[in-house]
Amino acid sequence: MRCLALWLSLSVAASLIAQEGPPPLTLEQAIQRALAHNYAIQVQAVERPIARAALSEAWGKFDVRLTGSFYASRDEQPRLPNALTGYRSPSSITQDTTASLALGGSLPWGMSYSLGANTENARGTSNNFVDTYATFAGLALTQPLLRDAGFGPTLTQIRLARTNAAMSEWDYRQAVTNIVTQVIYAYSDLYYAQLRLRSAQRSRDLAAQLHKDNARRYEVQAMSEFDVLSANARVATREDSVLQAEYGLRTAENALRQLISDERQPALLTAAIEIEPLPTLTRAAPDPAADFAVALQQRPDYRLAQLAIQRGDLNRRAARNQLLPRIDATGSYGYNGIGPDFIASRQDARAREATAYSAGVSVSLPLTSTAERSRYRASKLRLHQAELELQQLEQAIVVSLGNAAQLVESTRRRMDVSRESRQLNESMLQAELKRLRAGSGSTFNVLYQQEQLSAAETNEAAAQVAHCRALAEYDRQTGRTLEVHRIVIRSD
């Protein structure tokens, strides 16, 4: 019997736990779910490996390339007939076969190189079609002296790709910051919607109870019919407020669900969601003057603006380099070989008995450089524009920090005032009810005071939500959102 009783008690406890469902969602848990499931964060996260892949692609310009070629040609040149005999001599025929194989590429200071060999077999009428393979094996170099010379122009694309990769990191931080702030807003809105519905239901229930009390007094001739009708009318009016509050609650729930879930089926709208009350946040008064320097270090948009200037300067330097004339130094050094077949000619070249080298300079000087000058002028203007945008952002940060700090202080005071107002309205409602029961009050005053209490409760909830949102906004303005919520972004 004891075992049976124990089993029954455990079964009852298990059923009660199952009926209770999952525990309410806290604000920090909602933020963690958003970090794991929010689509906006997932989409922005893809930009980081894309930018890193682009950086690897830029480095790929220095990859060593293996190139090979093979060409065969036959050229038959007819001859004019003899003026006396009219006889046409046989055509002159030239056959040529060329094969090459080389390793080539470019170096960070702009030099291009090719290390390999090429073999040509030229035969025809002039040598009775005897195979004569001529081979050159060696190294050929080309070094720009002005345009595209040096590390600066050669590494421009790599530096741009590195800057874009850094920008993708700050873009991701900004996306995370924005989503965390939106979750705080949505969580606060849902909490406000719950309190608003609770207050509307309480106000309706108070009106319904007053209607019942008035109806009983009317039956004993202690209350007028007008008082009964007034109370009943207010019940209907407040029922409409309950319906509106229920709709607001559903909308707020859906907004939070969308932020913290990756569900793409209608089940998203039916999943149960219960939240804990907003945490009580106590902080020292914000100091926007001191936090301005912090914002310049941690705000993603400001760091992005700085990187935009860096990118603009790289483009300006690259465009300025393209204004220079192209002067390239070229040279080659190697060995020649010859033989009746391919292998013999290559072996002769490897013997290094016949040296071949060359050196020279090529010059290309545009007469107008219209396109290059236009690109350079546009790059300078874009750089200046980026600098002005940074200065504009600095001014905006100063103003936004001041506004956010003022909002934090204003909402904190508003919380104190609204709490006191709600407490006073509760006392006034109790006093009006006592007066009504004593016969010196009126139904109108009680109904009015009930509505005042409902408004005071709603104002108190709104003030608490506004303060929570103000703190979240101040964190976003200073760039401390991730630090406050202990969010660490790893660089993969």
Contact between 343 and 119 under an 8 Å Cβ cutoff? The reply is: no
What is the per-residue DSSP string for 177-203?
HHHHHHHHHHHHHHHHHHHHHHHHHHH
Residues 100 and 246 in one domain: no
Residue type at position 66: L
Residue 397, pLDDT score: 95
Contact between 183 and 256 under an 8 Å Cβ cutoff? The reply is: yes
Residue 492, pLDDT score: 67
Q: Is residue 492 part of a domain?
A: no
Q: Is residue 17 part of a domain?
A: no
372 in helix, strand or coil? helix
Residues 248 and 102 in one domain: no
Residues 81 and 201 in one domain: no
* Residue where a domain stops, chosen among 365, 388, 423: 365
CATH number at residue 225: 1.20.1600.10
Residues 220 and 281 in one domain: yes
Residues 101 and 140 in one domain: yes
Q: Is residue 489 part of a domain?
A: no
* Residue range of the domain that includes 217: 23-55+158-315+376-484
Q: Is residue 7 part of a domain?
A: no
First and final C-alpha spacing in the chain: 61
Print burial letters for 354-386: b (CB count within 10 Å at least 16), e (below 16). Answer: eeeeeeeeeeeeeeeeeebeebbeebbebbeeb
Residues 297 and 397 in one domain: yes
Residues 124 and 77 in one domain: yes
Residues 283 and 353 in one domain: no
- For tokens 């007034």, the residue is 230
Q: Is residue 153 part of a domain?
A: no
User: Using CB atoms within 10 A of its CB, is residue 392 exposed (0-12), middle (13-18) or buried (19+)?
Assistant: exposed
Contact between 55 and 165 under an 8 Å Cβ cutoff? The reply is: yes
Contact between 347 and 380 under an 8 Å Cβ cutoff? The reply is: no
Residue 167, pLDDT score: 95
User: Alpha-carbon Rg of the chain, whole angstroms?
Assistant: 42
* Residue where a domain stops, chosen among 365, 396, 430: 365
Q: In whole angstroms, what is the distance from residue 246 CA to residue 241 CA?
A: 9
Residue 458, pLDDT score: 85
Give mean pLDDT in consecutive 10-residue pieces for the chain, a chain of 492 residues. 35 41 85 93 93 94 95 88 77 90 95 95 86 93 94 94 95 95 94 88 83 77 75 82 91 92 84 82 82 93 96 95 94 94 90 93 90 94 96 95 93 89 86 79 76 84 90 93 90 70
Residue 21, pLDDT score: 59
Residue 334, pLDDT score: 95
Residue 17, pLDDT score: 37
Residues 182 and 230 in one domain: yes
Residue 77, pLDDT score: 86
Residues 51 and 68 in one domain: no
Residues 303 and 384 in one domain: yes
Helix axes 443-478, 156-219, angle to 10 degrees: 170
Total structural domains within the chain: 2
Residues 301 and 408 in one domain: yes
Q: Is residue 198 part of a domain?
A: yes
Residue 363, pLDDT score: 94
Q: Is residue 229 part of a domain?
A: yes
Task: Write out the two tokens for 479.
Answer: 């760039």
Whole-Å CA distances, 259 to 197, 269, 486: 22, 12, 19
Q: Is residue 320 part of a domain?
A: no
Q: In whole angstroms, what is the distance from residue 332 CA to residue 139 CA?
A: 5
